[in-house]
Amino acid sequence: MGELSRRDALTVGRIVRVNHAGEFGAIRIYSAQILVARRFSPDCVPALLEMLGHERQHCAAFRAAMPARNSRPCRVMQFWSWGGWLLGFLTALLGQQGIWACTAAVEATVHRHLDDQLYYLAERDPELHAIVQSIREEELAHLHHAEEQLLAPGRLLYLLRAAITVATDCLIWLSTWGDSVRMAHALKAARLC
């Protein structure tokens, strides 16, 4: 990794921190969904177990990337932990459509943020860029799987997805102290040029 400005180094550290927290939140979502789905939606369990395995690998990869970037776990980790578990539990109680609506909403939001991060990291941290790129592919597969499982989503599922998207965006913003917004603006500006 080349010499970064103080601000860029801080942002890279925040990227690792929020990604680690997000993956931990995803672990909690899938764990709670599996708990409920084993009883009420057993057809979902194999896919959920596979996704949970991916999220555990992603979380470990980001945790391992922290020390080299002077980063540490997120201060709002309890929000990711308890919020993720509660979200997973409640959406699983709604059945298969609740499970897949939750996964689609979270993964679509994560995908958007990972795209912003890839743009930001390309010239600043090629090693972290490669980690995010490889993880992005699995997260995109989760999103596609979830969307394929959704039947004809009605107004309730639309509202559920919208609420989950807003909550996820808020946690990402809180975990990066707003750097996620700055990266999104930079990406949008670069695409307009």
- pLDDT for residue 6: 86
Does residue 153 register a pLDDT over 90?
no
Query: Can you give the residue ranges of every domain in the chain?
Result: 6-192
Residue 190, pLDDT above cutoff 60: no
| Residue 51 in this model has a pLDDT that exceeds 60 | yes
**pTM for the structure as a whole:** 0.90
Least Cα distance to 13 among 190, 139, 179, 174 occurs for: 179
pLDDT tier for residue 41 given thresholds of 50, 70 and 90: very high
Pick the CATH number of 6-192 from 1.20.1260, 1.10.3470, 3.40.190, 2.30.30: 1.20.1260
Q: In the predicted model, what is the mean pLDDT of residues 31-60?
A: 98
Distance CA 136, CA 140 (A): 6
**Hunting for tokens 């990711």 — which residue is that?**
80
Q: How many CB atoms lie within 10 A of CB 57?
A: 14
Confidence of residue 160 (pLDDT cuts 50, 70, 90): very high
